Amino acid sequence: MTPERILVVNAGSSSLKLRVLDATDTVVAGADLPPPRGPEDRPAVAAAVTGLGSLDAVGHRIVHGGTAFLGPVRLDERVIARIASLTSLAPLHQPKALDALEAVTAAVPDLPAVASFDTAFHAGMPEAAATYALPAPWRQRWDLRRYGFHGLSHAYATRRAGDLLGVPVTDLRLVTCHLGAGASLAAVAAGRSVDTTMGFTPLEGLVMATRSGSVDPGLVLWLADHVGMPPAELAATLEHRSGLLGLAGTADMREILARADAGDARARLALEVYLHRLRREIAAMTASLGGLDAIVFTGGVGERSAPVRAMAADGLGYLGIRIDPSRNADAAAGDREIGEAGAPVRALVVESREDVQIAADVRSVLESATA
């Protein structure tokens, strides 16, 4: 079957986003609700879903697929139980997705439903990129590896880059930059992720809005041992009080840019740390690719902050990345190329459309089931 109207369900920390996409991937209906927290919220979800009109299928964004789910999968009781068993790998995100899944399923129990996983795009990374240098018994017993996240965004950015460049993705080496409250890069060769900046958790990698990004694990052990900081306090601080917020006192990149321009030392340091890590990791991704054909900016900051894009590229000219100021500043142009004409590496801005990627996953799973 090829579903015509697909309900995409994206459960976040503060909202449940419902979007209906038609066969052309146009959003034709939608609703934003508080995230459901149990059976008592199901009537509100049911009312919202009913108000969206006729539906043919449902696609759910699930953050973590572990080693069990390497691609999208049709949901049934066995699959849902396996997803629930992975909660310890994503304790902040998996329960919200499961609550939303249960609420929407209760509202439309007869619709076919598919789960799309943020980790799946990175599941085929080479072992050298996915493996931590830890004892084999640890890695095998607890599935300790680099999973990567934001895979739905990276996958869509990859497909869209091929469209914009008029080149098959199988012929491209891309660095996709998902820069938002959470941020990660992916090295994409021939349409497949071969490296990424996030790891076992979304804390690894770039400096983010409130997440620290990579820190020396010895620093964390020192705080636990010498300061007596409890694991829960360490986790809360690294996840919610660090990153740009910890450096500048705000997680808003727009405010940081304005304050840095006005000479604020904390904001300037925050911006410099953010850009230093961003440039360093972009260069690292090119090493994993053995070269670079195009760089793609997506996510809230990646799409909307021309200064961040320009400053990131300013330190990467040796790779062939050169941004055209007028193209970069044209925020009304939508998905577009922003690099200088003739630059060795093309540069693009792409709107993050996880909903389109999820809808594509739904069609793929359901069509293959009836082929």
Residue 140 domain flag: yes
Q: Which two tokens stand for residue 252?
A: 């808003």
The CA distance from 57 to 204, in Å, is 35
Residue 282 domain flag: yes
Residue 295 domain flag: yes
Same domain as 250, residue 114: no
- In the numeric block, the tokens 């300061």 are attached to 227
Assess whether 118 carries a catalytic annotation: yes
The active-site residue, picked from 118, 293, 355, 361, is 118
Q: Are 151 and 118 in contact (CB under 8 A)?
A: yes
Tens digit of pLDDT at every position of the chain (371 positions): 689 999 999 998 778 999 999 999 999 999 999 988 878 888 999 999 999 999 999 999 999 999 999 999 999 999 999 999 999 998 888 998 999 999 999 999 999 999 999 999 999 999 999 999 999 999 999 999 999 999 999 999 999 999 999 999 999 999 999 999 999 999 999 999 999 999 999 999 999 999 999 999 999 999 999 999 999 999 999 999 999 999 999 999 999 999 999 999 999 999 999 999 999 999 999 999 999 999 999 999 999 999 999 999 999 999 999 999 999 999 888 999 999 999 999 999 999 999 999 999 999 999 987 76
Q: Are 261 and 253 in contact (CB under 8 A)?
A: no
Same domain as 251, residue 194: yes
Residue 48 domain flag: yes
Same domain as 360, residue 348: no
Residue 85 domain flag: yes
Same domain as 164, residue 41: no
Same domain as 188, residue 67: no
Same domain as 201, residue 110: no
Number of domains the chain contains:
2
Same domain as 359, residue 322: no
Enclosing domain of residue 321:
154-354
Is 0.85 topped by the overall pTM?
A: yes
Q: Which two tokens stand for residue 246?
A: 């910890």
Q: Are 26 and 88 in contact (CB under 8 A)?
A: no
Residue 183 domain flag: yes
Same domain as 124, residue 73: yes
Same domain as 122, residue 214: no
Same domain as 70, residue 187: no
The CATH number linked to 166 is 3.30.420.40
Same domain as 140, residue 21: yes
Beta-carbon contacts of 301 under 8 Å, excluding residues fewer than 6 positions away, are: 179, 180, 183, 253, 308
Same domain as 277, residue 194: yes
